[in-house]
Amino acid sequence: MKVTSEVAAGAGLHFTSASAVVTLPLDGVHIAEVADPLPPVTVYLIWREDDEAPALHRVLATAAEVLPTADRRDP
């Protein structure tokens, strides 16, 4: 996977999920579990402005439905 090869090459670090750890190639990297919960982090969904793909719009609708602060920001 590109992420672990970039980390192994010295390009920083990466946060990942527990489920991803079991499938990632781990040669040349160290894995450390974060013991305490991390504070909330604001994340954004970014998509191409003219993308009309039905799957994208289903994901956006689901995000708006299940994420407490999901809203669409137009620049």
Chain segment 12-38, per-residue pLDDT in tens: 777 777 887 888 777 888 888 888 777
Q: What are phi and psi of 61, to 5 degrees?
A: -65, -40
pLDDT computed for residue 25 by the predictor:
75
Q: What is the pLDDT of residue 54?
A: 92
pLDDT at residue 71 tops 80: no
**pLDDT computed for residue 72 by the predictor:** 59
pLDDT of residue 73: 63
> What's the mean per-residue pLDDT of the chain?
79
Measured distance CA(54)–CA(62) in Å, rounded: 12
Q: How far apart are CA 21 and CA 31, in angstroms?
A: 8
More confident residue, 52 or 44: 52
